[in-house]
Copies of this chain bind each other. A is one copy, B any other.
Amino acid sequence: MTELITPAVARRSLPDAPFLVAARGGAPSRVPVWFMRQAGRSLPEYRALRAGTAMLAACFDPGMVTEITLQPVRRHDVDAAILFSDIVVPLVAAGVDLDIVPGTGPVVATPIRDPRQVAELPALAAEQVDPVAEAVRLLTAELGGTPLIGFAGAPFTLASYLVEGGPSRNHERTKALMYGDPATWHALLDRLADTALTFLRAQVAAGVDAVQLFDSWAGALSLKDYREFVLPHSTKVLGGLADAGVPRIHFGVGTGPLLPAMRKAGADVVGVDWRTPLDQAAAAVPGSALQGNLDPAVLFAGDEVIQREVARIVAEGRAGGGHVFNLGHGVLPDTDPDVITRTVAHVHAHTPTR
């Protein structure tokens, strides 16, 4: 974990890429925009390509990952590509017995709830995610001037899948472990931090230009609990990438009160959902670059509303120390891809400041 990251290939130099410039707090040539889940079910070409291939099989197939990651870049004129993957990919790679069941999500064969199971949780070795690294190499060769964002789930969100055994609305088993057996909890999250860090460092070594650590469900916690039970472990992941030379984005949903703590974990760019206006987020994490925060539902409300909301968010984003336009959560599967393309154009019609 402590060895320096030596990229397998020289990292591309993209000094003018608007996404990277904004993420570093500079003055981009246009307002950069990408969309969480831009690669995926909203695109007919994705649905066609995925037909007959299971989600996990797709995530471990370098050619398929490459093609799926490129699809929205070809269509939408976005300023970054996001590696197509899933939050559970590093767990599967390490040997955890789980599957992604269509319509349900990840299902873990044996939920992890006691110290012995935590001790036996397999560690991830970088070579176990070689297919992902290979996809990164293929992508950087294809992407030209468009940066590629690497991807991992944060320890808390990974833990929730492992403890609940699958997706959960209320995270009751997860919280029962967290509150009831803090030693086991911290041991589990420490291991998952290693897993996420190994996964992200492998992506950096293969050439990604930025990373995003997703803590989808951190918003289920109060600030006090986040600080005690999650922050040290997310800090291990993001801190372990401090020498990587790439911007680190950290995002969760419903995290308004958590934003300062999430920045403190080591985020260069703080992702913000649609509930917190960006000027308010900027006041909470002064000087930080921000990412967000169009409500994904707005893409269903017609072009006039989209233009108005884009203008508002671009204006509010000027309060940040850099602004990467994005949704406040992932693209919803029923979103019309042509609407996404037009929204990107609306963002680009605004003049960047700073």
Point out residues on A near B: beta carbons under 8 Å.
170-176, 178-180, 219-222, 224, 254, 256-257, 274-277, 295-298, 300-302, 305, 309, 329, 332, 334
Contact = CB atoms under 8 A, between A and B. Distances in A.
Secondary structure class of chain A's binding surface, majority of residues: helix
Contacts of A171: 297
A332 B300 contact: no
Contacts of A301: 175-176, 178-180
Contacts of A176: 297, 300-302
Contacts of A276: 222, 257
Nearest to A300: B176
A224 B277 contact: yes
Given A173-B300, A274-B222, A300-B172, A179 B305 contact: yes
A180 to B, nearest CB: 4
B221 A175 contact: no
Contacts of A221: 275
Contacts of A219: 254, 275
A316 to B, nearest CB: 11
B332 A170 contact: yes
Closest 5 A-B residue pairs measured CB to CB? A175-B297, A176-B300, A179-B301, A172-B297, A180-B301
A296 B171 CA distance: 10
Nearest to A330: B170
B256 A175 contact: no
Contacts of A305: 179-180
A188 to B, nearest CB: 15
Contact of A175 (B254, B257, B277, B300): B300
Nearest to A295: B175
Nearest to A256: B257
B222 A275 contact: yes
Given A256-B257, A302-B180, A170 B297 contact: yes
Nearest to A172: B297
Contact of A179 (B220, B298, B332): B298
Contacts of A329: 170
Nearest to A275: B222
A301 B184 CA distance: 13
A176 B177 CA distance: 39
Nearest to A299: B172
A274 B225 CA distance: 11
Contacts of A175: 295, 297-298, 300-301
26 contacts: A170-B297, A170-B329, A172-B297, A172-B332, A172-B334, A175-B295, A175-B297, A175-B301, A176-B297, A176-B301, A176-B302, A179-B297, A179-B301, A179-B302, A180-B300, A180-B301, A180-B302, A180-B305, A219-B254, A219-B275, A222-B274, A222-B275, A222-B277, A224-B277, A254-B254, A256-B257
Contacts of A300: 172-173, 175-176, 180
Given A170-B297, A172-B296, 18 more contacts: A170-B296, A170-B329, A172-B297, A172-B332, A172-B334, A174-B297, A175-B298, A175-B300, A176-B297, A178-B301, A179-B301, A179-B309, A180-B300, A219-B254, A220-B275, A222-B275, A254-B254, A257-B276
Nearest to A222: B275
